[in-house]
Amino acid sequence: MSTSQDPIQTYAEQHTAPESPLLAQLTRETHLQTMTARMSSGHVQGRLLSMLSHLMRPRRVLEIGTFCGYATLCLAEGLAPDGCLHTIEIDPEKEARIRRYVAAAGITEQVRLHIGAALDVMPLLVDEEWDLVFIDADKRNNDAYFEAVIRQVRPGGLLIVDNVLWSGKVLPTHEVRSGDKDTSHVRDFNDKVAQDARVEPVFLPLRDGLLLVRKK
């Protein structure tokens, strides 16, 4: 995964619209108070998520894996006036921070936070039709999340899957160590989507890899 010390990443950040003061504050807090700050979408990826949301003006968005809520705030920026974003986070200890930043962004009425395992929560949302889905949770379940939600994505809708480069471990030149199930699952998922007749994928080598998937 690229970091701020990567000169290409630094150049990209300098030529990308700045993050808001609230997002910058959330980034700082995440780095100070969590051990896994790199899981946050961050500046450039966050602006891309915001741009895609603005272009689509979605009424219904699903986010699988909230973490500290950075991507949540970015995706919510482009919601239609009557839009709603459902976001699922498995760790209850993150709930207070997520709700605090959602409130600070003034989008409490548009964001529905669900605490629990995504595969347990998603059946409760079967009546929704999704315009935009962001999958950024445990990588072993990428395919399970994809299959659980694809039928509810409208034709022309967009799914975005994060960390599909998996620090470069998905490349065929990388030797997968015994017991490294995550890499195998990410590889298998990427290969499957590339051949899935239901969708049109575009693989972006941005940060740790984003897979954009348009449902036909």
Q: Is residue 3 scored above 60 in pLDDT?
A: no
DSSP assigned state of 108: T
In 3D space, the residue among 116, 117, 115, 148 whose CA is nearest the CA of residue 133 turns out to be 148
Top mean-pLDDT range of 1-10, 55-64, 176-185: 55-64
Residue 5: per-residue pLDDT = 66
Could you give the strand order of the β-sheet that contains 130-135, starting from the edge strand earlier in sequence?
111-115, 84-89, 60-64, 130-135, 153-162, 210-215, 199-204
Q: Which domains does the chain have, with CATH numbers?
A: 7-215 (3.40.50.150)
| Phi and psi at residue 41, to the nearest 5° | -60, -40
Is residue 83 within 8 A of residue 60, CB to CB? The reply is yes
The residue whose two tokens read 């699903």 is 62
Query: Which range (8-12, 147-151, 191-195) has the least confidence?
Result: 8-12
Q: Is residue 131 scored above 50 in pLDDT?
A: yes
Strand partners, 133: 62, 159
DSSP assigned state of 164: S
Dump pLDDT digits (tens) for 90-125.
999 999 999 999 999 999 999 999 999 999 999 999
Cα gap 57→124, rounded to integer Å = 24
In 3D space, the residue among 151, 140, 100 whose CA is nearest the CA of residue 118 turns out to be 140
Cα gap 139→186, rounded to integer Å = 6
Dump pLDDT digits (tens) for 159-203.
999 999 999 999 988 888 777 889 999 999 999 999 999 999 999
- Between 49 and 1, the more confident residue is 49
Dump pLDDT digits (tens) for 14-58.
999 999 999 999 999 998 888 787 778 899 999 999 999 999 999
Residue 189: per-residue pLDDT = 97
| Phi and psi at residue 214, to the nearest 5° | -95, 125
Structure tokens at 7: 């000169």
Is residue 41 within 8 A of residue 66, CB to CB? The reply is no
Is residue 83 within 8 A of residue 61, CB to CB? The reply is yes
b/e burial code for range 150-188 (CB count within 10 A of at least 16 → b)? bebbeeebbbbbbbbbbeebbeeeeeeeeeeebbebbbe
| Phi and psi at residue 201, to the nearest 5° | -95, 150
Q: Is residue 1 scored above 70 in pLDDT?
A: no
Residue 34: per-residue pLDDT = 81
Residue 2: per-residue pLDDT = 45
Give me the mean pLDDT over the 136-140 stretch: 95
Residue 35: per-residue pLDDT = 73
